[in-house]
Structure 1
Amino acid sequence: MKTNEKKNTSAKKKLIPAVAMLTTSAVMLSTATYAWFTLNKTVEVDGLKMTATAADALEISLGGVTNTTRVRNGGTLADNLAVQPKDTDDELSWTSVINVGEYYDKVSYIKPSSSVNGINFFEATDPDNGGRTATKFTTATNDSLLTKRSKLDVEGTLKNDEETNKGFYVDVPVHLRTSKLKDGTNTSSDVFCKMLITDPKTGENMPEGDLYKAVRVAIIPLTAEGTLDTSSKIILGADDGYYNAGQAVASTSDTTRSSVTVTKTNSAIAQDGTQTLVSFDTTVDIPLATKSGTYGHTDFVVRVWLEGESTSCFDANSAQDWNIDFVFALDKNESSFTSWNGPATGTGV
């Protein structure tokens, strides 16, 4: 694996002088003039860590894993990780704590783009001012970004991949199941989430600004047919600073932008080291189990990109890293959910 310095040097050779913005970032870049960014700049780092609360009768999976040895590590992964894992005892994928590196080996580079809804993306064709301004845009078409492992590896790490296609966002299919029984007339439950987007080098003074503030995440439900529910509009981020007064690019027109409401998912670290996190309804619902020994099951996609219209997305800070951590729960008042303030050590995209 090349060092960060070599990667940056290699990337610069492929760009024209005025370059662009981020990973999980957006609109100010062009097909010809953009900088390359990766989900993690360090060679060996954990992947996106998602945490489900077992005490709240939830389990999480990133895809099907089955074999007959009952050994979780080394189980064969399903060909298509978007396929629902089986709700059976011999399905090895279900757990309470999971990270993307268990299922995926590598992630390729990401180009900055801009999106109002997490569904439609646009990239700049005339970035200027160090990637801070642009007036012309084109529709951004995504490429495959994650390389699947053939075997589950619970010690696996998500590594940079310089050989694969580049794209504008990363999609991670996520599956949740619950053994919680229906209560009275309730047939389903809202799924609540806390998400923490952080700089893994917290405390260091970043002279060029904090790139992690440009990271955007959308949680997009999947329909029964396995397609994206495009009615979802929730946009999550560590900061909601936009160059165009809270607006992102909504079309290829240089005059069309739409206001975006960003649910901020972390805050400044207090002197006692604690953090105040926003808990939110993911817009995902999960059916409750009908009897003991059965499960309710739901599927959605976590989509991550770098918002090009973010005031924190520009050329000079393109080498920075960031982490993303989640915790899911059925009840926003559940004790282990309300007390969660992020992992002891950062892991993430």
Structure 2
Amino acid sequence: MALPIQVNPKDPFIDIHTGRGQGSCTFANGFGCICSCAGIAHAQLLRMVLTPENSKKLPDKYKQALANKVRTVQARIADIPHDKVTTIIHAQQQPERVLFLCEDVTHPIIDHCRVIDILRWAEEDPLASQQVSELCTCVQNHGINSFKDLAPKAGEYLSQAHVLCDIVASIALVLSKAIDTIPAADTFINACEATFTLSRRSSLGFGPSRSRHGKDAIKARKSRQENDAVESKKQYADGNSISKDLLIKTLADISKDVYDLLAKHESQPRQFLKAVQATAILFCPDPDRHKLTWNMCFIPLFQTEICDDLRGKLNQDIITALEYGKEDIWDNGAAARW
């Protein structure tokens, strides 16, 4: 197996990512992951505890890591710079069009949503626990099966390229439009593919450069679809490169299984949509760098009862900025980098 991923379906606590890059995907540390897990291992620690039985059996090292993560998130949300957002909002003539959101505002909020709110929702709602766990297992298993023969460098590219979360967010968008009348399976899967393709074509990617936040890198950045095409032409001695067919097959496999899960939970499609949105947030390395995840998953979930506690910790200016952020997020004075 070329990709540094180990597989043991019988052991939900195995650290599936054996390689290490900047930070640890397993523990969801950092928003700029450049490791070679292809996005499969991101936030695995959080996905381990989605069900009560797993929470009770969590090994000590993971219990400590989760407790540390919760403390860090709580401290960061308490220190969020409300005044920075308020000052910028009131300085803008048209705040509904351009709002300033820097990473020291968005990142604590995103982390609170996935580390505290989503996990508490799963703990309090057995159906949510079951649905999000099933969806995460589906995405992880298909990610492993699809990407296991990729070269580590190709896996590193996919970690940054928002592929798995793009797939799940595409499914969320299609499901949101068909919430009252679920289409036939083929229609659903085709719509997911079309949405995914449009997202890759219209959203900007970071590319594989570690200096992607530099001004020159930002100006030169291409769409994710263009970056996918460049990456697919590379040849590696230690594994395969990606291909458009591979990404589309992965999407088709995941969306087919999600459709089957939707049929299983057809009596509560809106609840299932929330579970899909939560899954995208868990797999997305940085939702404020991924327009589809932000628009279709993070903001809709943020506006529900799931994040009541989080919204209560924020002033109205930040809530307004987050909700208008779907139009244009500005980060540290630079134009939105979706």
| Larger proportion of helix | 2
Q: Tell me the TM-score normalised to structure 1 length.
A: 0.26
Q: Tell me the TM-score normalised to structure 2 length.
A: 0.26
